[in-house]
Amino acid sequence: MIFLPLLEEKIGYCFKSKQLIQSALTHSSVRHKGRLFERLEFLGDRVLGLVIADLLYKRFPKENEGDLAKRSAALVRREACDKVAKSLSLQDYLVLVSTEKVSNNAILANAMEALIGAMYLDGGLMPCHQLIQKYWEDLLTEDVQPPKDAKSSLQEWAQSRGKPIPVYKIIDCTGPGHAPFFRVSVLIESLPEVIGEGASKRHAEQNAAKILLESFQK
């Protein structure tokens, strides 16, 4: 059984059930042993969303629901979870099959969510709240204005010019179920089609929108 006192020190929580923290750090690609990883990831994602919503509600009392939603989307997305996972050196503790890359930001982000899910089951909401408040603090305050993602910015660009909203289409999805890879196209009337790639449909769509926006700037 894996015992991880250094990681527990970093997250400020000592697990009563060492099996839970082991399950959170055993990727689903590890047959049989990784069977709980995705369930913990699912739970952790919801816990993260709740805590982030609470923190934003208190931190930005004058912002409306739409602006808070934009901030929340940026803070719970894969890039934010990956950044926190790396600050905890989570890649040093993960158990996964040799064909997987521990540097894969999707895997690290999922592991971060799984760890939060395991903490919630083991100790309730309070230790999760303390962890998230500590490690998401810089991300909470790095944008003075609510962030706009690439898809939102592209839609605003199109509508401001009287064009229909962008249309996204999945070109293909490859890779195993636990680590898919998407290629998605975006098309706006009279403009060339652009393709984006990513480890999720949303990520690929964002990349496609970003590439198209950057082409306008050039």
Q: What positions carry a catalytic annotation? A: 45, 113
Distances (CA, A) of 163 to 124, 156, 217: 48, 10, 18
Angle between helices 105-123 and 78-87 (to 10 degrees): 80
Q: Record the tokens describing residue 64, joined without a space.
A: 């409306």
As a whole number of angstroms, the distance between CA 106 and CA 37 comes to 13
Tokens for 106, please give them: 């999707």
